[in-house]
Amino acid sequence: MPQNATSHFASEIEASKLVKHFMNELDLGIRTANQEIIHARIPDLDREKAFVFATLVARLRADYLDAAFKLCSQGGQPDPQDIEALRNKRRTYEEARDAFTALRHAIEVGYIDVAKLNKG
């Protein structure tokens, strides 16, 4: 390999190391910030609250599906108010589901300490 190519290759390796180091520091900073902020906002988050949350999402899903099946079983054209009620149940369910997905993500990436959750 010519000297110039070797020098360029070494420079690229060094730049790659700097990027990786920076990204690791950034990830650590993000994790630390999330841990502090989430814990400060929800200091009593524990295993029981996580399961209560999961159960809420299940109930909202069931409410939404139940309302949809009731509309189907009525036959004929659904009343616009019934459609609006169904839409509201869907929105409520989807918001709760998305919030629970955010909780799962926070746990998976270490923003929430699972060891602390298990103490509850």
pLDDT tens for 31-66 read: 999 999 999 999 999 999 999 999 999 999 999 999
pLDDT at 18: 94
Contact (CB, 8 A) for 46 and 120 = yes
Q: Which of 19, 17, 15 is nearest to 27 (CA)?
A: 19
Both 21 and 64 in one domain: the answer is no
Residue 10 parent element (H or E) = helix 3-41
Both 52 and 27 in one domain: the answer is no
* DSSP classification of residue 45: -
Total structural domains within the chain: 2
Domain ranges, residue 25? 1-41
Tell me what percent of the residues of the chain surpass a pLDDT of 90: 76
| Distance in angstroms (rounded) separating the CA atoms of residues 111 and 32 | 7
Give the count of beta carbons closer than 10 Å to the beta carbon of residue 20.
10
Q: Is the pLDDT of residue 72 over 80?
A: yes
Both 36 and 55 in one domain: the answer is no
The pLDDT confidence band at residue 116, using thresholds 50, 70 and 90, is confident
Both 66 and 113 in one domain: the answer is yes
